[in-house]
Amino acid sequence: MKNLLIAFALLLCLTSSCKKTTSKSLIPNGNYSGVLEVSSDVYKMPSIYPITITFENEKYKVSSDPASKEVGGSGTYSSNGSIGNFNDENIWQANFDWNMILKGEYEIRSNGNDLILIKRFKASTQTPPPAVTIVQTYYKYILKKVK
């Protein structure tokens, strides 16, 4: 009887210490259509770029109008809570705003079929801060899942 009690206690300890991870990505797999909205503190009207993004098993691919070669990106992504980290795997020319490539850290807002990705910038640690931080530019992907 004593051995049975010890075995039961051991089994209870082993099964209660196992924790299943059921983290669900805030970005469900699928095709999304929408726009990249680029705005700043200086210009009142944002620039709008139509795009589609495919998310599949922590990989992504951005497609845009062929005339807008500077909007794009493809690679892998991961998320931790409401923060996504996108790793672009392409080689790009240096003659445009590289922030229009889906790469780096983004705040993820997901509600049903709606998905918003907002680019996050790290604060500058330079003293004094560089002049480029005077004007803030914002990059926001506003997407809807295509059925």
The CATH number assigned to the domain with range 23-145 reads 2.40.128
Element (H, E) at 2: helix 2-17
List CB contacts of 29: < 8 A, sequence separation 6 or more.
55, 56, 57
CA distances from 93 to 30, 36, 49, 52, 96 (A): 29, 20, 19, 22, 8
List CB contacts of 36: < 8 A, sequence separation 6 or more.
48, 49, 51, 64, 71, 100, 139, 140, 141
3-class secondary-structure state, position 17? helix
More confident residue, 1 or 27: 27
Query: What is the per-residue pLDDT across 23-56, written as a single tens digit (0 to 9) for each?
Result: 567 899 999 999 999 998 888 789 999 999 999 9
Query: What is the per-residue pLDDT across 103-143, written as a single tens digit (0 to 9) for each?
Result: 999 999 999 899 999 999 876 666 666 655 567 889 999 99
The pLDDT, as a whole number, for residue 98 is 87
Residue 14 reports pLDDT greater than 70: no
Q: Name the pairing type of β-strands 137-145 and 83-88.
A: unpaired
Query: What is the per-residue pLDDT across 55-110, written as a single tens digit (0 to 9) for each?
Result: 999 999 999 887 776 788 999 999 998 999 999 999 888 888 888 999 999 999 99
The pTM score is: 0.75
